[in-house]
Amino acid sequence: MLVEPDAEGISPDLRREVQELRLRALVDRLLAAGGVQGARLAEAGVTRGEGLTLDDLPRLPVVTKSDIWERYPEGLRVADPDDIVCVHGSSGTGGRPTLVPYTAQDVGIWASVMARALGGAGATRASTIHNAYGYGLFTGGLGVHHGGLRLGATVVPMSGGMTERQVRMLVDLRPDVLACTPSYAIYLGEALAAANLRVDSLRAGIFGAEPWTDGMRARIERLLGLRALDIYGLSEIIGPGVACESLDSGGMLNVAEDHFLVEAVDADGTPVPDGTPGELVFTTLTKTGMPLLRYRSGDVATLAGPVEGAPRTLRRMSKVLGRTDDMLVVRGVNVFPTEIEAVVLGDERVGPHYLVVEDRRVAARAELRVVVEPRGESAGSLGDDLVGALRERLGITCVVHVVARGTVPRTEVGKARRFVRWTEGEPPLPGLG
């Protein structure tokens, strides 16, 4: 059952017509607002939306995170301040968050795409959703909340942390849907196991806000006994709900492309064909608070059409493969941290908590150090085996540190930090030096 059949299930040709109408209206809105996006459109020779088609996109200007940061705190807002009903954001660098203003209409769009995402995970009005994404400026908590309410489900607004209380609520309220980061799903699963408890009401989880692999998916599904689905989004575009896997989407995420048009481009901004990894570029077709035309997300994924014969006719994106800015170049070889996770978690002997350290203390001789914890008592040949498997997959030799269980820091609140760059000073974990 689709939550919004007229949006999720219509023919791609009809959707394209809707997208083009919306693109034209967006361009007119940006030109009328006269901000930086309007100025760039004018510079590119675009003086009105009329006549534009999706084929014109590659010649339209782009915006980046720094365009928003440089205009902190109002960013690229075009709506009248009186029409803004809330502000969200993500922690940026240098202590300045990336702030995003929402109009009531934007919040409505958010509720709608999140209701679809929850519906795709099998949630209904009868569902209870345990929401352990953080509530606050971060979009995770309130995004799932709005969607759950729109669906008519029962939302348990747990927010992050206070794991003992979360365990209690899971056991007592018997939710069928869990929403949190994948790393916190592992943490919760371990806490349940340690307390000898199992929540057999859980059917599905929507996990996102940080990169995770199919290896991590298998771990979560085993620990919690549910279907683990990926949900993707970014504050600049709306928050969670930009794209979400459904039970039948073949491991990829359905993009809510009637609201958030997606392109994948190479480093020069040229579109790449479906199946080829590219940087995702999003256009918010319907937002009014801070609409963005061709926002370069920095996230790398592949795109594909819908699953043949599936009820959802939306374009799909793969799991995020990495970020344009976290691609490591180690001794000339390009590596995304997610590739390392795939190898590490592919080995059943490894626990789910690991850390990748890019050791650049000697600039000319960068080392990749991979810190893992064994699942059982003894590690045996684990370290050597992982060095071999990593060499085979990545083409470089990494240093593998097998450390005692409990050494790698756990994430109870916020996004997991599984990758650190070490340029000088003390090691990020004791014993790496």
Helices (H), 262-400: 337-345, 382-394
Residue 148 sits in the site that holds ligand DLL (CB under 6 A): no
What contacts 222, CB < 8 A, 6 or more positions away?
Answer: none
139/411 with CB nearer ligand DLL: 139
Q: Please answer whether residues 396 and 428 qualify as being in contact, where contact means their C-beta atoms are separated by less than 8 angstroms.
A: no
- Per-residue contact string for residues 272-301; x = within reach of ligand DLL by CB under 6 A: -------------------------x-x--
What contacts 159, CB < 8 A, 6 or more positions away?
Answer: 131, 132, 133, 134, 135, 136, 141
CB under 6 A: which stretch of 10-18, 61-69, 194-202, 233-241 binds ligand DLL?
233-241
Assign 150 to helix, strand or coil.
Answer: helix
How many CB atoms are closer than 10 A to CB 333? 11
Could you tell me if residue 412 is left (phi over 0), alpha (psi between -120 and 50 degrees) or otherwise beta? alpha
Taking CA 160 as the corner, what is the angle to CA 155 and CA 162, rounded to the nearest 5 degrees?
105
Q: Please answer whether residues 345 and 212 qualify as being in contact, where contact means their C-beta atoms are separated by less than 8 angstroms.
A: no
Out of 19, 37, 90, 288, point to the residue binding ligand DLL (CB under 6 A). Answer: 90
Q: How far is the CB of 139 from ligand DLL (least distance, A)?
A: 5
Residue 38 sits in the site that holds ligand DLL (CB under 6 A): no
Q: What is the DSSP letter of 236?
A: T
Residue 276 structure tokens: 């080829």
CB under 6 A: which stretch of 117-125, 131-139, 351-359, 393-401 binds ligand DLL?
131-139
DSSP assignment of 375-391 equals SSS--TTHHHHHHHHHH
Q: How far is the CB of 247 from ligand DLL (least distance, A)?
A: 17
Out of 211, 215, 351, 374, point to the residue binding ligand DLL (CB under 6 A). Answer: 211
Residue 208 sits in the site that holds ligand DLL (CB under 6 A): yes
CB under 6 A: which stretch of 15-23, 102-110, 133-141, 188-196 binds ligand DLL?
133-141
Out of 38, 147, 233, 374, point to the residue binding ligand DLL (CB under 6 A). Answer: 233
b/e sequence 98-113, b meaning 16+ C-beta within 10 Å: bbbbbbeebbebbbbb
Report the distance separating Cα 204 and Cα 123, nearest Å: 8
Residue 290 structure tokens: 């801070």
CB under 6 A: which stretch of 110-118, 135-143, 261-269, 364-372 binds ligand DLL?
135-143
- Per-residue contact string for residues 236-265; x = within reach of ligand DLL by CB under 6 A: ---xx-------------------------
Report the distance separating Cα 338 and Cα 40, nearest Å: 35
88/369 with CB nearer ligand DLL: 88
Q: How far is the CB of 237 from ligand DLL (least distance, A)?
A: 9
Q: How far is the CB of 26 from ligand DLL (least distance, A)?
A: 21
299/341 with CB nearer ligand DLL: 299
Assign 354 to helix, strand or coil.
Answer: strand
Out of 151, 202, 231, 345, point to the residue binding ligand DLL (CB under 6 A). Answer: 231
101/233 with CB nearer ligand DLL: 233
Q: How far is the CB of 47 from ligand DLL (least distance, A)?
A: 32
Q: How far is the CB of 212 from ligand DLL (least distance, A)?
A: 6
What one-letter code names the amino acid at 22?
R
Q: How far is the CB of 296 from ligand DLL (least distance, A)?
A: 11
How many CB atoms are closer than 10 A to CB 25? 14
Please identify the residue of the shown chain whose CB is closest to the bound ligand DLL. Answer: 208
CB under 6 A: which stretch of 21-29, 160-168, 228-236, 282-290 binds ligand DLL?
228-236
Q: How far is the CB of 131 from ligand DLL (least distance, A)?
A: 10
Q: Please answer whether residues 359 and 368 qualify as being in contact, where contact means their C-beta atoms are separated by less than 8 angstroms.
A: yes
- Counts for the chain of helices (H) and strands (E), in that order: 11, 21
Of 229, 231, 224, 221, give the one whose Cα is nearest residue 247: 229
Q: How far is the CB of 254 from ligand DLL (least distance, A)?
A: 13
Binding stretches for ligand DLL (CB under 6 A) = 90, 133, 138-140, 208-211, 230-235, 239-240, 297, 299, 320, 323
